[in-house]
Structure 1
Amino acid sequence: MTTETKPKKDLNDEYVYKSDWPELFENPQFIEELCEDILEPYIITKRWYGGKASALKYIELIDHFKIQDNNDAFYGLVLEVNFREAFVQNYFIPIALVTDQSFPQEDIITKIQLNDVHGFLVDATLLESFRKQIFEKILEGAKTKYKGLEFRRGRGCKDTEYISSRFLGAEQSNTSIIFNDKYILKIFRRIFVDQNPDYEINKYLTEKGVFKNTPKYSGSITLRFSDKNVITIALMQRLVKNQGDAWEYFLDQLKGIFKKLSEIHPDVTKIQPIGMFDKIDLSIIPDEIMNYCPMSFFEDIDQLALRTAQMHVALGLERINTQFTPQTYSNDYSVWLKNRLIYQFENRVNLVENNLHKLEGLRLELAQEFLDKKKEIRKRLLDFDESKLKGERIRIHGDYHLGQVLVSDHDFYIIDFEGEPESTIRDRKVKQPPLKDVAGIFRSFNYAVYSTIFNNMEDFRYTKEELFHFAEVLYSYMVTVFLRRYVKYVQSHNLSIGYKKEIKFMLNYCLLEKAVYELGYELNSRPRWAVIPLKGISRIINS
C-alpha cells in the first residue's frame, strides 16, 4: 500500500475556502494548510526567525485570538515550530486579510479566496489600521473579550490619541513601531511562556524611578492564560531622542584615534598596556596615549561606566519583590552555572576542532593554544567556589554590549533587557553577578577596537602585528577608566560586589565566559573574526 503525498502549492497559487474572514479559523482545512503549506515557506525568509541553522520539522498553531475594532478584524497567531533536532520555538504573527491587488508581492504571506472574495493574507503590522487599533487599546488600557489578552498603559504614556505610526529602521529580531514620534512599541516575534525580561526590568526601573537612563515603560500587550502562564506580546516605551547606538559612536571615535596615530606614526611597540586594576584618573592618563586620543573619548567611557553602575544599583535596591531582591551566592547557583558553562565550552571545543582547516596565521595559532589548554580552561570554569564570594547576585542586563546603549548628547541610555539569545527564558532571569554585565561591555570594547582595525587596515601605516599591539594598549586604558568609575560608584552606594580579590576573580571568570560564548558565533558566522575571542581567552589563561 502506498501513501500519496499531497503536492505543496506554489507561492503564486491561491488557497480557496468556503468561509468568510470572521469564521476562517473554524475551518479545519485552513488550519491544516496554514501550518503545513502556508507558514513554513513564509517564516523561514523572515529576519526575526531564529531557526535558520536547524531543520524545521513541522509547525503547529497552538493558539489564535481576534483583535477586533468596529470594522477591522485581525488575528494573532501563536505558533510552535518543531525542529528535527528535538527542540521547539514559539513565534507570534498578527495577520490580516487585504483585497488591495497592488499590495507589494514581497509582503504577501499567501493568496487566498474566501467564498467570492479574492485577497491576500499579510502581516498585520504592515497596515496602519492595525497599528492604530493596538495603540488605542494601549491608551485605553483595555482588556479584550478573548481569554486574557491584556492591553496595559504604563506611567511613561501621556498621550490621549493616535496621530501617526511608522517602522523603526530595518526588520530585526523583533518588529519596532514608532507611535506619535514619542513611543516605540516592540512586538516580540520569538515569544516565551513567561514574562519577557525586557518587560519586567523596564517596568520595574520605571516604577521605582531611581534609574532615569533607560526608556520609560509606557505600555504592554500580554496574553495571560493563568497567573503563571503568560506570554509578553509587546512592550511600549518612551522614545529616547538619540544619535544612534554606542557601537557606531565608539567605532567612529576609534577610527579617528587610529588615523591620528598613523599620521604621527610613533613606534607603538614601545607603548605598554596598563593593568586592569591599576588606578588611573582621567587627569593622569599619559601623553603617549593622549597624543592620539581626545579627552572626550575617555570622558565618554567614564560616563558610560557611571550609567552602568547606576543601573546595577537600581536593580539591587529591591527588598520586597522577590523577582528583584539581591541574593548571595549558593551551591545551587554554582551547580547551575558550571553545568551551563561546561556544556557550552565542550560545544566550542568541538567547533574549533571542526573548523581548524578554515583558520590560518594568528587565528590558527590561538585556536591550537585553545585546544592545547582546554583542560586548564575547563578547570577555570569549574573553579567557582561560592563559599569564598561575599558579593551579591542581582537581576542584570544579561546581554550588555555597546549595541544595547543609545547615545544622546554625550550621555547614554541602556535598552533591550531581553538577555542572552542562546539562553532559555528561565536562565535569563537567574540573578547573576553585576560584573557579568561589566565583562560584556569590556568584550564589546575589545570588539570595537579590533573591528576598527579589520575594517580600515589599509588606511593605517602599520603592520597588523603593530596594530594589534596598540589595540591591546588602548583597550587596557578603556577598561581601567571604566572600572575605576564603576567600582567607586557601586561601592559608595552599597551594592556589594566584593573587594579587590573577588572583583578580579569575578571579572576574569566572566570575561572568559563571554569570550567562550562569542567563539561559537564567530566560528559559525565569520571565522576571520574568531581571533578576537581567541585573543581574549588567551589573555585570561596566560595572565
Structure 2
Amino acid sequence: MSDNKPHINAIFKYGSAWEYIFENQRFINEFCSDVLEDYIVSQRWYGGKASALKYIDIESFFKIENENDLFYGVVLEVNFKEAFVQEYFLPIGLVKEKDYVDHNIIARINLNGEKGYLVDAILLESFRSQIFDKIVEGNKYKYNKVEFRRGRKCKASAYESSKFLSAEQSNTSIIFNDKYILKFFRRVYTDQNPDYEISKYLTNKGYFTNTPGYAGSITIKFSDKNIMTLALMQELIPNQGDAWEYFVQNIEKAYRKLTEKQYNVKSLNVLKKYNQIKVDDIDPKLLKWFDRDIFEDVEKLALRTAEMHITLGMERINASFTPTAYTYDYTVWLKNRLMYMLDNRINLLENNLHKLDGMMVEMANDLLDHKKKIKKRFLDFDESQLKSERIRVHGDYHLGQVLVQDRDFFIIDFEGEPESTIRDRKVKQPPLKDVAGMFRSFSYAVYATIFNNIDHYQHPVKDLFHSAEVVYSYMVGVFLNAYIEKVQNNNVNIGYLNEIEFLLEYCLLEKAIYELGYELNARPQWSIIPLKGIVNILKQNNDE
C-alpha cells in the first residue's frame, strides 16, 4: 500500500487486549470505515473495483487459535451504492512492532500501549501452519459452527512447509508440504461453493481420478441450509503447466513450420460443421505441418471431459447431482439470463466501438446488424423438443482450467462463471455447455497464435484465417468423435445427433457473447476472437 493512504500513517489506539478486540465497538466502527474502505479496494482479489463502495460491515468473525497464537477469521459485507452486496473473507493477525518484517499492512495499531500491525493472516506462517494442522486434525469449533474438515485424500499427519501459488487473482492458494493446495475463497457466499461441492463429490464417487482429490475444507454453518465455504484443500497435482500454455506452444510450433515450409493452406478443406473424425483419418496434407500429437492430445482431453461428465451424471440419490430433464422453469431461467447478457453486450459493444479498429469494426457492425437474429436464436430454445438430460457441469471450462501432466490432463476449478450468482452456477446444464467452452478455447488458442505473431507469417491474413478454420474444424471433429462415443457408451444422455448439434451451437453462441463482454472490458484488442466466433456461427447458419 502506498503511504498516501490515511490508515497506513494513522495509529489506531484501543484500551483492549487482542483477545477481546472485537468486543470493542469503536474498533469495529473504525476498522470498517477508516481502515477497510482504503485497504480492500487495493487488493487483487477484490471484485468490486468497477462499482462505488458505500460502506463495509462485519457480517461474522471467529477466533482461530492454539496455545501460542490467536487470529480472527472475518467475513466482510461490502455494500455498494448501486444497491447490491458482496461478501469477502479476510483472516487477520496481529504482528508486534518488534516482530514486523515485510507484510502487507492493514493498519497500525496500539493495544494497551503496545504497538503492532494488523496484517492479512495468510501472510503469516504461524497462521498457515495452524490452519493446516486444524484441517489434518479435523477440529470443530462451536462459534458459528466453524468446521475444519479432513478429506479422504489427506494423508498428512502435521504441517511441514508452505508457500504461495502466485498466479491467482481472485483467490489465495497455498501449497502445503509440497503435496496439498489450499485455496482460500476471498469472495464468499452463504452457500456451498461449487468447487468444494463438486470436488468432494468426485472424490467420494472415486470414478473420475483426473482431478485433484478432496483433502479438506473450512466452512461456517450458520444454519442447516446456510453454509459458507471459506477454503478448499486438494491434492497437489504435479504438472508442466496448464493446457492453454501447452496447446499454444504446440500450435505456435506448427505455424512456424507452416511459414518455414510455405505450405499451401488453400488446398486444405474445412470439415463440415461438427463432422466427427478419428485421428487416423485426418487429411495427410494437414499433418505435414500440424503435428498429429496435437490431435492425439485433443482426443485425450475429450476422453477426460467425457469421464468427468459420466461421473457427474451417474448420481441417483443426491438431488444436487441427479440428472434432470429440461423443464419450462429451466427455459424461463435460461432465456432471462441470456437476454440480460445479450443486451449488456450489445450496449457495451456500441459504447466501445471507438476502441476497435480494422476488421474488428466490420465484425462488430455485422454483429450489431444481426442482433435481432441472435436474440431470436436464444429465444428459440424449446425444452419440449429436447430428450436429453441436464447435469451438474464444470461451468467455466476452458484450457486454462486443465493441468498437463506427461500428456495427460487433470481438470481443476469448478467454481463456475465469475459473472454468475452462486445459485446460477449450480443449475444443471447440458454437458455440451462444457464442450462448447472447450471449443471456444481451441478457437482462442489458434487465433491468438495468429494475431500474436501476425508480423512473422508470410501468408496473407485471409489464408491464415482459412488455416485457422481448418485446424479448428479438425480439433472439434476429433474431440466430438471421442467424447460422444465415450459418454453414450456410459449412459450419459446427451441426445441424438440433431439435438447434440442444436445444443452445441446454442452454447457456442452463448459462450462467444459472454466472452465479448470480458474482452471489451479487459483487453479490447482481443475482442476480435469472440467477434470472429460469433460471425462464423452466423455465417454457418446462412450457408445452410
Q: TM-score, normalised by structure 2?
A: 0.97
After superposition, the C-alpha distances for 1:478-522 in whole angstroms (9 at most, x for unaligned) are 111111100110011110000110001000000000000001011
Contact 1:392/1:496 (8 A) holds in 2: yes
Deviation at 1:463, TM superposition (A): 3.0
Contact 2:5/2:38 (8 A) holds in 1: no
Bigger mean CA offset, 10-19 vs 267-276: 267-276
Structure 1 residue aligned with 2:506: 509
Alpha-carbon distance between aligned partners in 1 of 2:43 and 2:99, rounded to the nearest angstrom: 21
Contact 1:82/1:89 (8 A) holds in 2: yes
**1:45 corresponds to which of 20, 36, 42:** 42
**Residue 62 in structure 1 maps to residue 40 in structure 2:** no
Structure 1 residue aligned with 2:113: 116
Contact 2:7/2:35 (8 A) holds in 1: no
Alpha-carbon distance between aligned partners in 1 of 2:6 and 2:446, rounded to the nearest angstrom: 50
**Residue 540 in structure 1 maps to residue 537 in structure 2:** yes
Structure 2 residue aligned with 1:346: 343
Quick one: which amino acid aligns to residue 467 of structure 1? L
Alpha-carbon distance between aligned partners in 2 of 1:447 and 1:234, rounded to the nearest angstrom: 31
Structure 2 residue aligned with 1:445: 442
Deviation at 1:281, TM superposition (A): 1.3
Structure 2 residue aligned with 1:374: 371
Deviation at 1:100, TM superposition (A): 4.3
Contact 1:275/1:480 (8 A) holds in 2: no
Structure 2 residue aligned with 1:177: 174
Structure 1 residues 96-245: aligned runs within 5 Å: 96-101=93-98, 103=100, 107-245=104-242
Q: Which blocks of at least 5 consecutive residues in structure 1 are unaligned?
A: 1-6
**SS of equivalent to 1:44:** helix
Alpha-carbon distance between aligned partners in 2 of 1:113 and 1:170, rounded to the nearest angstrom: 34
Contact 1:389/1:502 (8 A) holds in 2: yes
Quick one: which amino acid aligns to residue 151 of structure 1? F
Alpha-carbon distance between aligned partners in 2 of 1:294 and 1:464, rounded to the nearest angstrom: 22
Alpha-carbon distance between aligned partners in 2 of 1:131 and 1:279, rounded to the nearest angstrom: 49
Alpha-carbon distance between aligned partners in 2 of 1:340 and 1:427, rounded to the nearest angstrom: 9
Quick one: which amino acid aligns to residue 447 of structure 1? Y
Deviation at 1:424, TM superposition (A): 0.3
After superposition, the C-alpha distances for 1:359-394 in whole angstroms (9 at most, x for unaligned) are 222111111011111110000000100011010000
**Residue 463 in structure 1 maps to residue 460 in structure 2:** yes
**1:297 corresponds to which of 294, 298, 303:** 294
Alpha-carbon distance between aligned partners in 1 of 2:32 and 2:464, rounded to the nearest angstrom: 53
Contact 1:223/1:233 (8 A) holds in 2: yes
Structure 2 residue aligned with 1:84: 81
Contact 1:400/1:437 (8 A) holds in 2: yes
Bigger mean CA offset, 381-390 vs 142-151: 142-151
**Residue 482 in structure 1 maps to residue 498 in structure 2:** no
Bigger mean CA offset, 347-356 vs 170-179: 170-179
Contact 1:15/1:113 (8 A) holds in 2: yes
Alpha-carbon distance between aligned partners in 1 of 2:488 and 2:168, rounded to the nearest angstrom: 41
Structure 1 residues 259-338: aligned runs within 5 Å: 259-338=256-335
**SS of equivalent to 2:166:** coil
Deviation at 1:279, TM superposition (A): 2.8
Alpha-carbon distance between aligned partners in 1 of 2:87 and 2:130, rounded to the nearest angstrom: 24
Structure 2 residue aligned with 1:255: 252
Deviation at 1:128, TM superposition (A): 0.8
Deviation at 1:459, TM superposition (A): 2.3
Contact 1:309/1:486 (8 A) holds in 2: yes
**2:390 corresponds to which of 385, 393, 402:** 393
**SS of equivalent to 1:11:** helix
Deviation at 1:190, TM superposition (A): 0.2
Alpha-carbon distance between aligned partners in 2 of 1:267 and 1:227, rounded to the nearest angstrom: 64
Structure 1 residue aligned with 2:421: 424
Deviation at 1:275, TM superposition (A): 1.9
Is the alpha carbon distance of 1:52 and 1:270 closer, same or farther for their aligned partners in structure 2, counting shifts above 3 Å?
Answer: same
Is the alpha carbon distance of 1:8 and 1:49 closer, same or farther for their aligned partners in structure 2, counting shifts above 3 Å?
Answer: closer
Deviation at 1:220, TM superposition (A): 0.5
Alpha-carbon distance between aligned partners in 2 of 1:302 and 1:46, rounded to the nearest angstrom: 40
Deviation at 1:171, TM superposition (A): 4.3
Q: Which blocks of at least 5 consecutive residues in structure 2 are unaligned?
A: none
Quick one: which amino acid aligns to residue 227 of structure 1? D
**SS of equivalent to 1:210:** coil
Bigger mean CA offset, 322-331 vs 359-368: 359-368
Deviation at 1:466, TM superposition (A): 2.5
Deviation at 1:280, TM superposition (A): 1.7
Structure 2 residue aligned with 1:521: 518
Contact 1:108/1:122 (8 A) holds in 2: yes
Structure 2 residue aligned with 1:20: 17
**SS of equivalent to 1:147:** helix
Q: TM-score, normalised by structure 1?
A: 0.97
Alpha-carbon distance between aligned partners in 2 of 1:133 and 1:102, rounded to the nearest angstrom: 19
Deviation at 1:400, TM superposition (A): 0.3
After superposition, the C-alpha distances for 1:106-140 in whole angstroms (9 at most, x for unaligned) are 61111111111100000101111111111111111
Deviation at 1:445, TM superposition (A): 0.6
Deviation at 1:71, TM superposition (A): 1.6
CA RMSD of aligned residues (A): 1.3
Is the alpha carbon distance of 1:10 and 1:109 closer, same or farther for their aligned partners in structure 2, counting shifts above 3 Å?
Answer: closer
Identity %: 62
Alpha-carbon distance between aligned partners in 2 of 1:104 and 1:43, rounded to the nearest angstrom: 21
**SS of equivalent to 2:520:** helix
Alpha-carbon distance between aligned partners in 2 of 1:304 and 1:213, rounded to the nearest angstrom: 10
Structure 1: 4+ residue segments shifted above 6 A: none
**SS of equivalent to 2:491:** coil
Quick one: which amino acid aligns to residue 148 of structure 1? K
After superposition, the C-alpha distances for 1:269-307 in whole angstroms (9 at most, x for unaligned) are 332211233232111211221011221111100000000
Is the alpha carbon distance of 1:343 and 1:35 closer, same or farther for their aligned partners in structure 2, counting shifts above 3 Å?
Answer: same
**Residue 412 in structure 1 maps to residue 412 in structure 2:** no
Contact 2:152/2:214 (8 A) holds in 1: yes
Bigger mean CA offset, 143-152 vs 419-428: 143-152
**SS of equivalent to 1:244:** coil
Contact 1:8/1:37 (8 A) holds in 2: no
